[in-house]
Structure 1
Amino acid sequence: MNWFQREITLAPRPRGFHLVTNEIVAAVPEIGQFAVGLAHIFICHTSAALALNENADPTVRADMEAAFNRLAPENAPFYQHTVEGPDDMPAHVKAVLLGSSLTIPIRDGRLALGTWQGVYLCEHRNHGGRRTVIVTLSGQLL
């Protein structure tokens, strides 16, 4: 069993659901050295999340943003944590619903994603800034 880990920084993005598959793969070319294994991708933040979903039609990403805004609206009267702005507490709720990590199989030096799957950075703050992600690879080398 071989292990590799790298911390990467994703470019800042506006609020929404953004495909970052290519950015992650480019930052961790060591994926190409693994014949079989797992890539664990962890985001080090509480107001952003990672998800796996549709990689082709951008309207899916827009619809995801709209749906999550209905699930966790800004300025809800029951929020107590409001000091950091109206987008902060909804961001925490959305991050809990989606999760902070993904585990994706590696096959023949590539992420073994389905045809229409991509890794999303789910940015829930209006101005979230750069996001830190830790990618851990484990498995058998080519």
Structure 2
Amino acid sequence: MRQAIHHLSVQARGRGLVEFTDDARRFVDDTGIRTGLLTLFCRHTSASLLIQENADASVRRDLERYFETLAPEDAARYEHDTEGSDDMPAHLRTALTQVQLCVPVEHGRMVLGTWQGLYLFEHRRDPQRRDIVLHLLGQ
């Protein structure tokens, strides 16, 4: 068994989805590991990770609008506002999604579906730089 780890820095312009599939693909390629499991972990409480369709941008826009209705910015609803009015809604959106993903690796490639991509889902309004840890275990 071999393993490799990498910290990937992803820049988000603000709220929304940022695809990083190609960055993860390069990491897997560079390791030389042919069969294994790639774990991705977002080290933040106001951003999350998704595997989502990467062919039609309207899917991403609809997701963003839906989460705005689930956890709206509304100062009257929340006690926690330490980092601004978008702080608590960002935490709620993260709690409703996930900060960790696992993707199988077979024949040296991530086993994603035809239209699947890896996304950072940024939940804060302002630009953010996010750290995603990629850990590949295999042979």
Shorter-chain TM band: over 0.9
Deviations 1:120-141 (A, max 9, x none): 110000114110011000011x
The answer for the alignment partner of 2:13 in structure 1 is 13
How far did residue 86 of structure 1 move?
A: 1.3
Aligned partner letter, 1:8:
L
The answer for the alignment partner of 2:136 in structure 1 is 137
Bigger mean CA deviation after superposition, 73-82 or 108-117: 73-82
Provide runs of 4+ in structure 1 moved above 2 Å.
11-14, 23-31
Alpha carbons of structure 1 residues 27 and 129: separation in structure 2 relative to 1, 3 Å:
farther
- Percent identity of the aligned residues? 42
| Aligned mates of 1:12, 1:134 — CA distance in 2 | 16
The answer for the alignment partner of 2:93 in structure 1 is 94
| Aligned mates of 2:14, 2:25 — CA distance in 1 | 21
Alpha carbons of structure 1 residues 132 and 28: separation in structure 2 relative to 1, 3 Å:
farther
How far did residue 2 of structure 1 move?
A: 1.0
Query: TM-score, normalised on structure 2?
Result: 0.93
How far did residue 83 of structure 1 move?
A: 2.6
Partner secondary structure for residue 30 of structure 1: helix
Q: How does 1:51-130 map to 2 (within 5 A)?
A: 51-75=50-74, 77-130=76-129
Q: How many residues align?
A: 139
Q: Report if aligned partners of 2:48, 2:98 keep a CA contact under 8 Å in 1.
A: yes
Aligned partner letter, 1:38:
L
Query: TM-score, normalised on structure 1?
Result: 0.91
Bigger mean CA deviation after superposition, 75-84 or 41-50: 75-84
Bigger mean CA deviation after superposition, 110-119 or 11-20: 11-20
